[in-house]
Structure 1
Amino acid sequence: MDIRSLTAAQNYAVARPATQADPDHAGMAQGLRSTFQDFAATLKHSEQMSEAAMTGQADPHALVQALAQTELAVETAVIVRNKVVEAYQEILRMPV
């Protein structure tokens, strides 16, 4: 057997698991899921607080606080989205 083909086979065997899901990184997906759920909960709370304020059942201070939290959450989501788009565009500009 040629040494080059043996080295290639060994390198392939080492690189092969890189294409499979790593169960140790499942925590990252769970972290993203909880982040998205928190974002949705913040928006829902703000909407409920707005409805309650329109019917006179909520304190105006609580409404302002809920809207400020929602504004912060949306601004954060927009910043993250912009960074993801920027990274994607940078990858597209890479020479192949």
Structure 2
Amino acid sequence: MQAISALAGQNYAAARPATEPQGTGTAGEAAVNLARDFTATLQQAEQTAQAAMTGGADPHALVQALAQTELAVEAAVTVRDKVVEAYQEILRMPV
């Protein structure tokens, strides 16, 4: 019974950092990190697509890469739309 408790404790300790909030930086730093992650996702998908065309990657990896890219692009478009909406709202405010 103690071995199971110890194993559960180790698994919890290993999983805990993944659930903690990351960074307490500024909004600018968060935007830069977001742009880097977006770029990395697109580059990884492109490399996977090229490997699939030459026979170096399986079709499942290609589908996963394309799905991740689609999700990243949809998120970027949503953020852009929200920024444009906020900017337009600011322009409508009386001075």
Cross-structure match for 2:65? 66
Q: What stretches of structure 1 of length at least 5 have no aligned partner?
A: 1-24
SS in 2 for 1:85: helix
Bigger mean CA offset, 42-51 vs 25-34: 25-34
Tell me which residue corresponds to 1:35.
Answer: 34
Q: Could you tell me which amino acid in structure 1 is paired with residue 83 of structure 2? A: V
List runs of 5+ in structure 2 lacking aligned partners: 1-23
Provide the TM-score with structure 2 as the length reference: 0.71
Superposed CA RMSD in Å reads: 1.3
Counterpart of 1:75, as a letter, is E
Letter of the 1:43 partner, please give it: L
**Secondary structure of 1:92 counterpart:** helix
> Looking at CA atoms only, which structure, 1 or 2, has the larger radius of gyration?
1
The one-letter amino acid of 1:74's match is: V
Residue correspondences, number: 72
Alignment of structure 1 residues 1-96 onto 2, 5 Å: 27-96=26-95
Alignment partners' CA distance in 1, 2:51 and 2:74? 24
* Structure-1-length-normalised TM-score: 0.71
Deviations 1:24-52 (A, max 9, x none): x8532222111110000000000011111
Identity of aligned residues (%): 67
- C-alpha distance after superposition, 1:52-93 (max 9, x if no partner): 111111010000000000000000000000000000001111
In the TM superposition, structure 1's runs of 4+ consecutive aligned residues that sit over 3 Å from their partners are none
